[in-house]
Amino acid sequence: MKAVLLGVGQAGGKLTTALAQFDADAGYGAVLDALAVNTAAADLDPLPLETVLVGQSRVNGHGVGGDNELGAEVMDEDVVEVLDALAPKVTAAAEAVFVVAGLGGGTGSGGAPVLVRELNRVYDVPVYAVGILPGRDEGTMYQVNAGRSLKTLVREADATILLDNDAWRSAGESVEGGYEAINASMAKRIGLLLAAGEAVEGVGESVVDTSEVINTLRAGGMAAVGFASAPAAEDPQENVTTVTSAVRSAVMTGLSLPSATDADAALVAVAGDPDRISRKGAEKARKWLQEETGSMQVRGGDFPLDSDRIAALVLLAGVERSQRVEAFLERARQAVRDEREETPDPAAAFENDELDDLL
Ligand code: GDP
């Protein structure tokens, strides 16, 4: 899928950079171009991307300090500047625009829904959001911000792909300490999803096509991406279990939103040397995915790659009924209640109604 990326806020800019880098290093050519937007000049400076600093008249380049309402307001005021900078990048080749942001902060959390809404008005191609959820140990403000941002994004975007910081938290390691590794791992999932539709030369008959990725995401709402790989034998007949276990691991342990396995639609791409991919394994894996997700709509195909490993990339769409999402939303609601108790002013409590829309 030829995509243009728009990173909003600190996490959005960093993940967009990692994603563009992943695509360039692998030579997939799925990322057409990328732009980073922020209210904080210091967060834009280190990025090797074209950037737009918004809200200068309001916050003078110092950021919105975790205030996502201010983030939304500022983006609304300066949205034309962002659209103007993005316009030359969204060429006729573009098949989608991805707005990437951390949902727990201020600029990305408030700004991403505004940008998604505006982009959807301007462009005919789908506009997807890629949202990073705060880990459960992050503070109340992050949970509240993410809850409201997510609710609004799901309404405005064609689909919202969720990346949960907790999915990458290994025991004893703080989320902050591991951002670089987390971003690389997140970038790999999204990067492969974009690349999966970019058919390669010498392809077999069952290659995943961009339209299948788009059709899977048509289920709308929230989506998750899983990945896992394993060494493969040269003889495809020996790789039945390699394929089925890779798909299983991608869903059970490699998903960007853990346990979000109840889905409306799914896509499974088996990546590797087409001569090594077991057809029987791919077919079995697809049936398993159908049962596991409860979805009748499971698309599948190969993603030909020059590798001695076999990898599985799984896209699950319409995962909002899953326990993980419910647990996150409950965390966000509880955080709203906690915040309200801290501010017993009835007027403020009225303003802070549980998980209001942001726009
Ligand atoms: P903003 O600049 O105001 O949009 O705020 P941030 O982008 O810093 O958003 C804060 C949220 O993003 C928190 O939940 C952080 O855990 C998360 N975050 C910040 N930087 C990164 C990063 O580089 N990678 C990941 N995965 N999450 C990040």
What domains sit in the chain, N to C, each tagged with a CATH number?
3-196 (3.40.50.1440), 224-317 (3.30.1330.20)
Ligand 1 centroid to Cα of residue 234, in Å, is 42
Q: What is the pLDDT of residue 303?
A: 93
| Cβ–Cβ < 8 Å for 8, 111 | yes
Q: What is the pLDDT of residue 345?
A: 63
- Whether the full predicted model's pTM is greater than 0.80, yes or no, is yes
Query: Dihedral sign, CA of 325, 331, 332, 333?
Result: positive
Q: Is 126 in the pocket of ligand 1 (CB under 6 A)?
A: no
| Cβ–Cβ < 8 Å for 212, 303 | no
DSSP string, 137-158: TS-HHHHHHHHHHHHHHHHHSS
- Residues within the annotated binding site? 10-14, 106-108, 138, 165, 183
How far apart, in whole angstroms, are the C-alpha atoms of residue 336 and residue 309?
Answer: 46
ipTM over 0.85: yes
Q: What is the pLDDT of residue 324?
A: 78
C-alpha torsion angle, residues 213, 314, 258, 243 (rounded to 10): 180
Per-residue tokens: 157: 């975007």
Q: What is the pLDDT of residue 123?
A: 98
Q: What is the pLDDT of residue 321?
A: 85
Closest CA to 358 of 119, 122, 69: 69
The residue whose two tokens read 């899928």 is 1
How far apart, in whole angstroms, are the C-alpha atoms of residue 7 and residue 49?
Answer: 10
- Residues within the annotated binding site for GTP? 10-14, 106-108, 138, 165, 183
Cα-based distances in Å from 184 to 6, 18, 104, 178, 191: 17, 6, 19, 10, 10
Q: What is the pLDDT of residue 198?
A: 83
How far apart, in whole angstroms, are the C-alpha atoms of residue 199 and residue 1?
Answer: 9
Q: Is 182 in the pocket of ligand 1 (CB under 6 A)?
A: yes
Q: Is 183 in the pocket of ligand 1 (CB under 6 A)?
A: yes
Q: What is the pLDDT of residue 103?
A: 98
Q: Look at strands 222-231 and 96-102 and give their pairing.
A: unpaired
Residue numbers of the chain with a pLDDT score lower than 70: 170-177, 199-205, 343-354
In total, the chain counts a number of residues equal to 359
How far apart, in whole angstroms, are the C-alpha atoms of residue 54 and residue 64?
Answer: 11
How far apart, in whole angstroms, are the C-alpha atoms of residue 193 and residue 188?
Answer: 8
